[in-house]
Amino acid sequence: MDIKIDDLKILFTEDEIQNKIKDIASKLNEFYKGEEVYAICVLKGAVMFAVDLVKHLDMPLKMEFIRLSSYGTAFSTSGKVNAVDISLPDLNDKNVLIIEDIIDTGLTAKFLMDFMHCNFKTKSTKFCSLLDKKVCRKTEIEPDYFGFEIDEKFVVGYGLDYEGYYRNLRYIGYVEAK
């Protein structure tokens, strides 16, 4: 199935996304209380969310970027997480905030949390996702912070893509099953 821009239905508008980001940032500001944070953005999908989120965080912050993949060019996860680039500084005794675009099966989130726990003794490790697709969960993992819960939809926009396209949309859209 090909996705065409005219086939997209809006799931979350730009304003809804930005308001939700401010709400998440407020909760994070309350949790961290001005302590230094290492924000780790999972590329490529979370970049828009991460950039907008950190603009509202009121603490000393360093940004890191890692690249993982479990979709490739498919509509659903392959079930295998590929660590494309996961080089990080020493995060021992640091507050770590992992920023992801969507958590669905939970395989990527579990991989990342396991990686953090096996390689570092952080002060805190929190997982933040813009979208939470609980209906697809295959692991016992939940985000500490999330924006919107969604059902079984293939979504694009605001960083989320289909074969590399549609990341630049200011909203999150979906295609209805035919």
Catalytically annotated residues: 104
What gap in Å lies between CA 34 and CA 29, rounded to an integer? Answer: 7
What gap in Å lies between CA 70 and CA 62, rounded to an integer? Answer: 26
Are 99 and 40 in contact by the 8 Å Cβ rule? The answer is: yes
Are 148 and 131 in contact by the 8 Å Cβ rule? The answer is: yes
Residue 102 CB neighbours (<10 A): 26
In 3D, which of 171, 176, 164 has the Cα closest to residue 11?
171
Two tokens, residue 1:
């199935």
